[in-house]
């Protein structure tokens, strides 16, 4: 049990250190997309990679063997201060 706790702490610390653009809080439930070349991940959050400024890919890195799934978020633009995007998944 002690090893599991140590592994979880190290994993969370390393993922936080290596995540890019971590000062800006992006959420899965928003229309915001990652910028081109930026990525973020967390122990319980999916790996999210900005392919272009209008396309983002995501997958749950830890669950890929049990539940292979990949998702894409497409940004359609912004109007009157409101961002519009859609999510698409393949599993």
pLDDT tens for residues 25-82?
A: 556 678 888 889 988 887 778 888 999 989 999 988 777 778 788 999 999 998 888 8
| Chain segment 22-34, per-residue pLDDT in tens | 445 556 678 888 8
pLDDT at position 75: 92
- How much is the pTM? 0.64
Report whether 63 contacts 55 (CB < 8 A).
no
Q: How far is CA 40 from CA 55, 65, 79, in A?
A: 14, 20, 26
Report whether 11 contacts 41 (CB < 8 A).
no
Q: Where are the alpha helices (DSSP H) in 2-85?
A: 2-18
Closest by alpha carbon to 52, among 27, 70, 35?
35
pLDDT at position 72: 93
pLDDT at position 85: 92
């Amino acid at each position: 049990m002690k090893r599991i706790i140590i592994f979880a702490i190290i994993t969370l610390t390393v993922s936080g250190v290596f995540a890019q653009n971590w000062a800006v809080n992006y959420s899965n439930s928003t229309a915001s997309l990652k910028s081109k070349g930026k990525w973020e991940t967390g122990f319980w959050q999916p790996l999210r990679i900005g392919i272009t400024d209008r396309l983002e890919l995501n997958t749950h890195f830890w669950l890929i063997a049990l539940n292979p799934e990949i998702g894409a978020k497409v940004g359609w633009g912004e109007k009157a201060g409101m961002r519009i995007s859609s999510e698409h998944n393949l599993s």
